[in-house]
């Protein structure tokens, strides 16, 4: 399956530099329709607004560790909501602890990526999610 370059993607990370890096990597892979949020508390209203506008996000790339609402909390909210429960969700973390992977998997994460990573690794994870 070839990925849609215009797929609507939301990048969620509390660090502006990291959002920029991820957006650049997604751009290198060929994605064009990328929006960003600085944490889960900012991302959730964006997700809801996009659904109400009938232009829902088709993929979320989220950091784990963020202040107001963590990536895990955002993931749980996405999975608990009827309109978003099947939304592909890639979790990014600096913590490669096995326990965290298990927690994220139980919460319904689509895939997991550990910092630092390359555009190639990001592409492989995205391909796994959408194939």
CA 126 vs. chain centroid, Å, equals 10
Domain ranges of the chain: 9-130
Give dist(CA 78, CA 109) in Å, integer.
10
Record the pTM. Answer: 0.95
Answer yes or no: are the C-beta atoms of 55 and 44 closer than 8 Å.
Answer: no
Tell me the mean pLDDT in the region 84-105.
Answer: 88
CATH fold for the domain made of 9-130? Rossmann fold (3.40.50)
Residues 54-87 have pLDDT tens digits of 999 999 999 999 999 999 999 999 999 999 999 9
Whether the predicted pLDDT of 90 surpasses 90: yes
The pLDDT of residue 100 is 84
Of 89, 71, 87, the closest CA to residue 126 belongs to: 89
Q: What pLDDT shows up at residue 1? A: 42
Cα separation of 61 and 96, whole Å? 17
């Amino acid at each position: 399956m070839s990925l849609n370059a215009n797929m609507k993607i939301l990048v969620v990370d509390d660090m502006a530099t990291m959002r920029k890096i991820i957006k650049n990597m997604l751009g290198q892979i060929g994605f064009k329709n990328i929006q960003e949020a600085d944490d889960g508390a900012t991302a959730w209203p964006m997700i809801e607004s996009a659904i109400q506008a009938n232009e829902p996000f088709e993929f979320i790339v989220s950091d784990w560790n963020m202040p107001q609402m963590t990536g895990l909390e955002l993931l749980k909210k996405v999975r608990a909501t009827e309109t978003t429960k099947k939304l592909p969700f890639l979790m990014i973390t600096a913590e490669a602890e096995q326990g965290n992977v298990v927690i994220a998997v139980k919460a319904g994460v689509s895939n997991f990526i550990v910092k630092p990573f390359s555009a190639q690794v990001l592409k492989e994870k995205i391909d796994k999610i959408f194939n």
